[in-house]
Chain A
Amino acid sequence: MRLLGMIHKESLQILRDPSSISIAFVLPVVLLFLFGYGVSLDAKLIPVGIVIEQPDTATQSLAGAFERSEFFQPYHFDSIQTAQQMLNERHIDGILWMRSNFSSNLLAGEEAPIGVIINGVDSNQANITQGYIQGTWLAWLSRYAESRGHSLPMPVSLEQRVWFNAALSSRLFLVPGLIAIIMTMIGSLLTALVVAREWERGTMEALMVTPLRIGELLAGKLIPYFALGMTGMLFSVALAVWQFEVPLRGSLWLLMVSSALFMLVALAIGMLISIVAKNQFVAGQLAIIVTFLPAFILSGFLFDINSMPEWVQLITHLVPARYFVAILQTLFLAGDVWPVVLSNMGALLIMLLFFFTLVWRKSHKHLE
């Protein structure tokens, strides 16, 4: 009866508090749309400047290759100076510079170097641009050689095939990762805030002097927010599958089980924060710094963990979202790859036990 009373009360509060509902349902929609449509890590229509010092068939043909490419949006400039000016003003991301001796060198079979200048301010973007320019150049070169009757001496011929995300669409891996972020928000931030609010308003003191047991108090908080988090999760999955057309290649039940596991970890951390921080401001700050930001930056959701410095990679092992993001991306894009899913779930289970023991030992019905 006591536990049911707590759950009933907590559910009523969730339903009446616009902030819980918006964190659980509005926030997922906003985040999903922002990341699903707004943010793209794909290089498409990169603005590049093309400078041809002496136009002829070869340079026209190369420029044509860039025109046709879906990756580039070429702009023509008469001199390298104006192109550089445009690069400095960030109107274009790179310059393709064909000097006056381009064709003669090419015909002579010698190297016909093209000058490539890339704006390196955004190193990630610069790498992608460089790669695409190189690719386009090599493709054109081999076609050009073929058309003249001899093949280009190339030691290795590269044939690429991208698995799981053949179109290389960043949306397909961003959207599943987002579910981890959303669940972190509900589990840790919301829980930490509501418990802190009870301390602030003095309701906690009143609860403590009732015959309510500490286990009932914890469960009374956990169960409604677990339900809320799982609802938010299912809602996000539905959006991902139907709105963003992300394939769900793994099984739904496995997704549910692993989500439940992650949800509990997030809740436990939220509880722990609320034990330390007894006012809403501190609890909110703490939850964002300890759970939300790491989930955003260090989980592999947005930035590739393997390209982080060694010591940062070590830190990512402490971020629960890291394991969940791996599970999510695998289940959505690859399918039930048991070794990946199980090892990550194992890590989550260890974290769950750790945090729950901590919560259990730290909670007591005293005010000190």
Chain B
Amino acid sequence: MSGAVITLSAVSKSFHRAGHKITALDSIDLTLQPGRVTGLIGPDGAGKTTLMRLVAGLLLPDKGAIRVLGIDALARPLEVQSSIGYMPQRFGLYEDLSVQENLELYADLQGVPVAQRAARFQKLMQMTSLSPFTRRLAGKLSGGMKQKLGLACTLVRSPRLLLLDEPTVGVDPLSRRELWQIVYRQVQEVGMGVLLSTAYLDEAERCDEVILMHQGKLLGQGTPAEFSRPVSGRIFQASAAGCSHRRLQEQLSRAPGVLDALIEGEAVRLVMETPGKPEPEALLPEQQNLQLTAVEPRFEDAFIARLKRPRDLGSMTLSLRKKVTANTDDEVIRVHNLQRRFGDFIAVNDISFSVRRGEIFGLLGANGAGKSTTFRMLCGLLPASSGELAVAGHDLRQAAASARGRIGYMAQKFSLYTSLSVIQNLRFFSSVYGLRGRQQKARLEWALTTFELEPFRDANAGDLPLGYKQRLSFAAALMHEPEILFLDEPTSGVDPLARREFWTRTNALAEAGVTVLVTTHFMEEANYCDRLVIMAEGEVLIEGTPLTMKASARTAENPDPTMEDAFIQLIEQRQAQQATA
């Protein structure tokens, strides 16, 4: 195995937290070749960051050997560190230093000769299109720019191996695309080896090679195509005239032979257990108009097929006692010329939209686009600077408690009491909404069964895995059976499997007539929404259905654009407008 950039043999690592032993890595064997981008993919807690840190010599393994660029990483970590570049999840930029000063610091630390610096800096700044901002303080850059500067600092000495730990989390799609371009340029120009971890499954397809990890174990290594091969011929798009895509998805997910059913725009994407096109009648006997089209498998399909828990997700229906049966054309949420300023800074600039009953309505945008500010104003947590807003006919800031009782809110940072148990949390939240006695007991039972929290009944909320915290938080927001549900970044940091479960539940709620307003920075989640707005820099760029948005981005060279393509196109149009204005 000469020339391998990373070799791990039987590496194990565990941590002790509050008396528990957590196995982060379980006997991992791994070889990485130079000159290609390897994606490290896995849900949260899979051990991705631990693996990165071990390779960077920041942690010592309990067992096993690690060689990086032919150097024993355990015996000579300093030597490893002089020849690799590592960008941690939150890259260490000094926010009170300027772009130039950050670069100089890392050039000093990495021992870049002074004579070479000017040329190298210029090249890096050009590559990251940060040249106009070299004198700006790093703290004053946008999220995407910070990430690019972080990458530039890591590349200041052109390392032979580049480790990137979730470099694209929370970064807007445009910067994300630029980051990928920079990485690939390094690979092509200097033959750098790149190991990159990510929680975005669509990024797996951009890698030359993928390593799939789950719960500290290595599940496989290969090209994205190799991963998708087992599911080829098993992926179909289903639609049925006269049947809502949600009901169809619900029915299909319970149909025989269906491994997974996922809403995609107006259609449903199916992953079958075996290859071959199924007969529509066999799948759904009562459904006459079912149309099935075979589609190309994606990495995500393979991921789901591989990791999906043997439990039947389809049985998971949310039984809401009272179905909201009012007219579906009612405007439940109305926002008109809404503005919010913080000093000179305009966080939300003159936005308008309205949401109808029973809709899933999305606010899509990168971090800092003004989604959360809009949300807080709608929930009555923040006063608007100007403009009108009404939720179920009320401005929640002035509304009586009864009006508030009709909404449910799930905050971005799951606001649970970490030192209370699951049942105590649920009991508290239900009593806050005035539930007591037999009614409360019934709702508690409902929450524990529907969200499968029964096994964790007495566990402290703080000790739950992230996915379960999200479930509990969701359950707490639903205790009083709200008509309108506000979900602020509900899937942020949650692994893809838990994200699917979450959307299945949200779909069921919408089907029952609950209006859902949701923010997200995952572009592909826009497909779950009925309608959405895309926000950037506090403004609404476009309002519409996922289908119309994608259609508007359709070009000759890109006949089947993704939501992300649509988003990037919108941003670029806007930038062009700003340039001419």
Contacts and interface: CB of A to CB of B under 8 A. Distances in A.
Interface of A: 1-2, 4-6, 8-9, 12-13, 16-17, 198, 201-213, 365-368
Interface string B463-505: 0000000000000000000000000000000000000000000
A8 B105 contact: yes
Contacts of A17: 96
B109 to A, nearest CB: 4
A210 B58 contact: no
Contacts of B435: none
B58 A203 contact: no
A12 B90 CA distance: 22
Contact of B105 (A9, A201, A204, A205): A9
Given A1-B111, A202-B91, A203-B94, A211 B60 contact: no
B93 A211 contact: no
Contacts of B93: 203, 206
Contact of A367 (B58, B84, B89, B96): B58
B50 to A, nearest CB: 10
B109 A12 contact: no
A13 B93 CA distance: 12
A13 B97 contact: yes
Contacts of B104: 5, 8
Contact of A13 (B77, B90, B94, B109): B94
A16 B96 CA distance: 7
A367 B59 contact: yes
B393 interface: no
27 contacts: A2-B108, A6-B108, A9-B101, A9-B108, A16-B97, A17-B96, A202-B89, A202-B91, A203-B92, A205-B58, A205-B90, A206-B87, A206-B88, A206-B93, A206-B153, A208-B58, A209-B56, A209-B58, A209-B84, A209-B88, A211-B81, A211-B109, A211-B111, A365-B58, A366-B59, A368-B59, A368-B60
Nearest to B53: A367
Q: Which secondary structure characterizes the binding site on chain A?
A: helix
Contacts of B92: 198, 201-207
Contact of A5 (B57, B82, B96, B109): B109
Nearest to A16: B96
Contacts of A367: 53, 58-59
A4 B105 CA distance: 9
Contacts of A209: 56-58, 81, 84, 86, 88
Nearest to B154: A206
Contacts of A212: 109
A205 B57 CA distance: 11
B134 to A, nearest CB: 15
B425 to A, nearest CB: 26
User: Which has the most chain B C-beta neighbours within 10 Å: A12, A17, A205?
Assistant: A205
A9 B56 contact: no
A2 B95 CA distance: 20
Contacts of B95: 201
Nearest to A210: B109
User: Which has the most chain A C-beta neighbours within 10 Å: B106, B108, B109?
Assistant: B109
Nearest to A17: B96
A1 B108 contact: yes
A204 B57 CA distance: 14
B108 A211 contact: no
Contacts of B89: 202
B312 to A, nearest CB: 41
User: Which has the most chain B C-beta neighbours within 10 Å: A5, A208, A209?
Assistant: A209
Contacts of A16: 96-97
A4 B108 contact: yes
Given A9-B108, A209-B84, 17 more contacts: A2-B111, A5-B107, A5-B108, A12-B101, A13-B97, A16-B97, A202-B89, A202-B91, A203-B92, A205-B88, A205-B92, A206-B88, A206-B93, A209-B57, A211-B82, A211-B110, A365-B57
